Amino acid sequence: MTQNKAVLNWIDEMTAMTKPDKIVWIDGSEEQLEALRAEACSTGEMIKLNQEKLPGCYYHRTAVNDVARVEDRTFICTPTKEEAGPTNNWVEPSEMYDRLNKLYDGAMKGRTCYVLPYSMGPVGSPFAKYGIELTDSIYVVLNMNIMTRIGNKVLEALGDSPDFIKGLHAKKDIDAENRYIVHFPQDNAIYSINSGYGGNVLLGKKCFALRIASHLGREEGWMAEHMLILGIEYPNGETKYLAAAFPSACGKTNLAMLIPPEIYRKKGYKVWTVGDDIAWIRIGKDGRLYACNPEYGFFGVAPGTNEKSNPNALASTRKNSIFTNVVMTADGGVWWEGLDKNPPRGVLNWKGEPWDPDDGTPGAHPNSRFTAPAINCPCISPEFENPDGVPLSAIIFGGRRAKTAPLVYQARDWDHGVFVGSAMASETTAAAAGAVGVVRRDPMAMIPFCGYNMGDYWQHWIDMGKKISHQPAIFNVNWFRLDEDGHFIWPGFGDNFRVLLWIMARAEGKIDAVETPIGFIPKPEDIDLEGLDYDICDGHKFTIEDLKGILKVETPYWLEDLENLKEFYAKFEEGKVPKELKDEIEALEKRLKG
């Protein structure tokens, strides 16, 4: 426990409001966690899986109305609406506190309130920030134990300091109408009520490490980004790092754990995973950008994960993991669409109903997830716990675009790169409640996660560029171009390594490229296609002609997209979109019409 007055007073205040029967401090010990697992199994909240096949693994189903982040119920309650900006939901803070106080009144009656101290970033490192989550869910405690560093060591590191992020989570009635995910950046506070699903309730993740942290980063001169971090080890033993921002369910976990094609493995190339979802980025003493993964585990999309697409992710889930909303088999195993081609029979679907694979419904929810310890990952980077992070040579933006965006292009310079990030758009996925497959603007993959006005966020990016002596090169990728029949053209997954090598060669100024109105694209012969001689689909093999097709800049689509981007910029208050970005959009239009 702790003598920290700020912590104790806040807990008194919150528990006086929520009125739990019991308060239990989570110390992080294996004995206490094991007792909680047993308790959750005794009430049916969790199910122990087959311990021979999946040692230390558990299963959980959320309510059927509670299976994804809820962006329309997520609020950034800054003192003024302008501080939250046009892309966030906003309610005046005192009005929101009134609403919440009513909802939380007695919300934990008959329940236990767990006090969960956690750290984002290695405890005691320059990156680390501490939080305490009060929650009435054992599922949350057990997931946070995988996703973050928890327990007494965090309280010790915090000492008497009042500098911690306050998080209050109550499951209440899982009532979708009264679900709230609320952030008060000025108070370092997060409130979550009426949900029990991942991103809504594991408050260290999107709520703290992105929404609150992006606000802190702006004030303190660093950045919190929705980015994976990976290292490429070259045959000479050197390792270079990059970070990449893709929207939810657009391939971060897959890219972070990529296994290079055989021809490269034979030469001695290797990819190391530093992070798969969030990067905190600071300026190092040498003037370069350094990135650290504040998380301790992976909360990954299950469907589509298999021995071929992402063997490292699959291996990470084989012990001490939690599976949410997947299929549970009769012998206590798990299954999801895309795991293999043999759907099991006599099983229960994500809703807990007997499921027949032939009935046309998915067995696992499309946003079903695994929670796996990062240390389980066979390719976890030796730098994973480096308190100073890893130096970035390149930053990649990307999205899911059937048309428009080419496979890869490089921005002209930092400011143009920030523009490219601001111009990101992607088809929506099952990671958030709402329609799937609709193109929406998603600058830097941060539209659901930026804790302040996105115009100010862009300015922060521009300003950071001015403060660093070595700016990483900035790129945009799109693995998701479709042909007329709706098939992916680019093979993707491990073969994305071919594009990463071009990116790194460009970042180091080692090869030429073709200048186009949108930036630099590869000479087709500079993307090595050796070994890409397998069937992608229906007997089709990827050819240099296909490559040329997906590298083409389709001017009419770009001009159309520019109009859409202008409308998006126009949503911002006068003067909020940085002048640098306005200059970039004008220059791009000129070059395209050139």
Known catalytic residues are 250
Residue ranges binding Mn ion (CB under 5 A)? 248, 277
Q: Is 370 in the site for ligand GTP (CB under 6 A)?
A: no
Choose, by CB under 6 A, the member of 62, 253, 316, 317 that binds ligand GTP.
253
Choose, by CB under 6 A, the member of 62, 145, 248, 376 that binds ligand GTP.
248
Q: Which residue is nearest to ligand GTP (CB)?
A: 492
Instruction: Copy the structure tokens of residue 247.
Output: 């929207």
CB 497, CB 269: distance < 8 Å: yes
CB 503, CB 424: distance < 8 Å: no
Amino acid at 428: T
- Residue 62 or 453: the one with the smaller Cβ distance to ligand GTP is 62
* Rounded-to-5 percentages of helix, strand, coil across the chain: 35, 25, 45
Kindly report the CA angle at 430 between 90 and 189, in degrees rounded to 5? 35
Give dist(CA 249, CA 369) in Å, integer: 11
Least Å from the CB of residue 68 to Mn ion: 12
Choose, by CB under 6 A, the member of 299, 397, 542, 572 that binds ligand SPV.
299
Per DSSP, the chain holds a count of helices (H) and strands (E) of 17, 32
Q: Is 431 in the site for ligand GTP (CB under 6 A)?
A: yes
Q: Among residue numbers 62 through 81, which ones bind ligand SPV (CB under 6 A)?
A: 69
Least Å from the CB of residue 203 to Mn ion: 15
- Residue 269 or 488: the one with the smaller Cβ distance to ligand GTP is 488
| 6: Cβ contacts below 8 Å, ≥ 6 apart | 161, 162, 164
Give dist(CA 63, CA 511) in Å, integer: 53
Choose, by CB under 6 A, the member of 199, 294, 421, 472 that binds ligand SPV.
199
Amino acid at 215: H
Site track for ligand SPV across 99-128, x = CB under 6 A? ------------------------------
DSSP 211: I
Least Å from the CB of residue 206 to Mn ion: 7
Amino acid at 72: D
Q: List the one residue out of 384, 388, 405 whose CA is nearest residue 396.
A: 405
Give dist(CA 143, CA 373) in Å, integer: 10
Instruction: Copy the structure tokens of residue 594.
Output: 């050139």
Binding residues for ligand SPV, total number by CB under 6 A: 9
Least Å from the CB of residue 200 to Mn ion: 13
- Helix (H), strand (E) at residue 497: helix 496-507
Q: Is 472 in the site for ligand GTP (CB under 6 A)?
A: no
Least Å from the CB of residue 500 to ligand SPV: 21
Site track for ligand GTP across 259-298, x = CB under 6 A? -----------------xx---------------------
What sign results for the dihedral spanned by CA atoms 413, 414, 417, 418?
negative
CB 145, CB 296: distance < 8 Å: no
Site track for ligand GTP across 99-138, x = CB under 6 A? ----------------------------------------
- Positions that interact with ligand SPV (CB under 6 A): 69, 198-199, 205-206, 248, 277, 299, 431
